[in-house]
Amino acid sequence: MPFFPGDLSLSLADILLVAIGVPVAAAIAARLALRRVHISPLGVSRRATPRPPRAWRVIPLLAGVGELVFFAGVGRPATTNGQIEAYLPGFLLIMAGLVIAGPWLTMIGSRVLARRASRPAALIAARRLADNPRAGFRAISGLILALFVTSVSVGVITTMDFNRGSASQGPAARDTVVDQVQAAARGPGAVAPVPAAMLAKLRSVRGVQGVTEIHANPFGIQVDLGPDFRGPASLVSCAQLASTPVLGRCAPGAAVAAIAAGGLGIPGRGTQAAYVWPAAAISPKRLQHLPVQAIAVRTNGSAAAIERARTALETAYPYLPYPATTIGENPFNSTLEGEQQLASVVILVSLPIAGCSLAVSVAGGLSDRKRPFSLLRLTGAPLGVLRRVVALESAVPLLLVAVMATAMGFVAAQLFLTSQLDYSLRPPGLGYYLVVLAGLAASLRIIASTLPLLNRITGPETARNE
């Protein structure tokens, strides 16, 4: 939606927070890193084997989950931003818990790798991770946080889309124009039957593939949607409904169907196109004489067909709101579509940034360990073995903690949805998992791109003692 440039402008507090906060955070991180460095007459070095991480590191992670569980048990649907913001500490605590627990999980993964290792590369990588799991996890920590954030956002948006979207999403919903010819959902306000000339004009528009009239229901017929909804219905010809599949389909053998009131929107469902509407005990001939509540026009998706169909409807009913597609007919659909785009932006932006951080960390780790690798080469270790060592050291914590971060993201989304909206999490579609797998594959490719450095930085001259 349109916004003003001022909406994106940084305040003085934002500028000071970045200008001062980032250097301060870097100084604190450097100070913590220097605690592992000691000076001796032989020079500056790091402690050979840091203390192994303990199991207490999972406590912050469990505390974050526990906070969300508490709100899920006592929470109610939010009506103010303050109530929603009450969940932020829980999310932040889980994010911090993933970072704190990451080294411990890496150590567990190294032990599993050591037990199952059958080649020298796996044994060396497992020993390296076990000796310093913090360094092994540090390289992939940014990517883990990105996966958690995307899992939460995609889980919440997908569930809200399923429960609040009025008609099925996708190209068919964007290609179908709907004109609500009454303000109310049923009964009063419906216009007289649409003239045959008007229907013929709509069908003659190039690109129009079907026209469906949604009629008022003066007989008190109701539609039963199971535990989600039972209420008044609208009526539609099955012959016409077959030409606009975005609205659903009729039961086999039915001539007239009872559809949700107004024709658009199944409370608690997001895939109207897949719904089978029950038959209504009324003849198609009698249906033609009933008032009309809405007109749905299916097009081939071209801009010309959509705009010409809108123009024809606007000319016939100039006193009504401007005809919209089924996506735009429900305002919440537009919001959900925007949020889905936002989730895609989060994935496509955060994963490359985390991947760049991963490349810097891996390259820095190779530089720090060039002498040990040189000694291994001098003792007869092939360069391919060293490359597999580096790949395993990065891939094991990456894949292990990535699964944990994704799972925790879905758990957090489920707890938030349960407490705030009384929804159950709907798993994302295949596209999300493909994006995540592509991101992980790209991360592994980034790791592989740093491996040629081994041939340049390892050699007899690096292993020589001066």
pLDDT of residue 72: 66
Least confident of 15-19, 119-123, 341-345, 438-442: 341-345
Residue 267 lies inside a defined structural domain of this protein: yes
DSSP state at residue 279? B
In terms of pLDDT, which residue wins out, 192 or 284?
Answer: 284
**One domain, residues 88 and 117:** yes
Best mean pLDDT range from 189-198, 287-296, 341-350: 287-296
* pLDDT tens, position by position, 127-164: 888 888 887 887 778 778 888 888 888 888 888 777 76
Residue 247 lies inside a defined structural domain of this protein: yes
pLDDT of residue 360: 78
Contacts of 246 by beta carbon, 8 Å cutoff, 6+ apart: 167, 168, 172, 173, 176, 272, 273, 296, 298, 326
Domain boundary among 276, 307, 329: 329
Domain count along the chain: 2
Percent of the chain with pLDDT over 90: 5
Asked if residue 331 has pLDDT above 60, the reply is: no
Asked if residue 213 has pLDDT above 50, the reply is: yes
**One domain, residues 78 and 123:** yes
Residue 113 lies inside a defined structural domain of this protein: yes
Domain boundary among 284, 310, 329: 329
**One domain, residues 459 and 338:** yes
In terms of pLDDT, which residue wins out, 25 or 169?
Answer: 25
**One domain, residues 268 and 282:** yes
How far apart, in whole angstroms, are the C-alpha atoms of residue 329 and residue 128? 58
**One domain, residues 158 and 181:** no
**One domain, residues 157 and 184:** no
How far apart, in whole angstroms, are the C-alpha atoms of residue 3 and residue 5? 7
Question: Is there a contact between 361 and 147 (Cβ–Cβ < 8 Å)?
Answer: no
Asked if residue 73 has pLDDT above 70, the reply is: no
pLDDT of residue 268: 47
Cα 449 to Cα 124, 391, 394, 398: the distances in Å are 21, 10, 13, 16
Overall average pLDDT of the 95-123 stretch? 88
pLDDT of residue 183: 44
Residue 83 lies inside a defined structural domain of this protein: yes
pLDDT of residue 19: 93
Best mean pLDDT range from 56-60, 74-78, 132-136: 56-60
In terms of pLDDT, which residue wins out, 229 or 397?
Answer: 397
Find tokens 């969940």 and name the residue: 87
In terms of pLDDT, which residue wins out, 403 or 190?
Answer: 403
**One domain, residues 392 and 259:** no
pLDDT of residue 15: 92
**One domain, residues 87 and 147:** yes
How far apart, in whole angstroms, are the C-alpha atoms of residue 442 and residue 387? 17
The closest of 452, 444, 446 to 384, measured between CA atoms, is 452
Q: What is the mean pLDDT of the chain?
A: 77
How far apart, in whole angstroms, are the C-alpha atoms of residue 404 and residue 67? 18
pLDDT of residue 295: 87
Question: Is there a contact between 223 and 277 (Cβ–Cβ < 8 Å)?
Answer: yes
pLDDT of residue 20: 94
Least confident of 231-240, 425-434, 455-464: 455-464
* pLDDT tens, position by position, 261-318: 766 655 444 557 777 888 888 888 888 888 888 888 888 888 898 888 888 888 887 7
* pLDDT tens, position by position, 362-380: 777 777 778 888 888 888 8
Asked if residue 168 has pLDDT above 50, the reply is: no
**One domain, residues 315 and 195:** yes
Residue 289 lies inside a defined structural domain of this protein: yes
What is the residue range of 421's domain? Answer: 53-165+334-463
Overall average pLDDT of the 388-412 stretch? 86
Domain boundary among 284, 309, 329: 329
pLDDT of residue 36: 64
DSSP state string for 207-229: TEEEEEEEE--TT--EEE-TTS-
* pLDDT tens, position by position, 418-448: 877 778 888 887 878 887 888 788 878 887 8
Residue 296 lies inside a defined structural domain of this protein: yes
Residue 188 lies inside a defined structural domain of this protein: yes
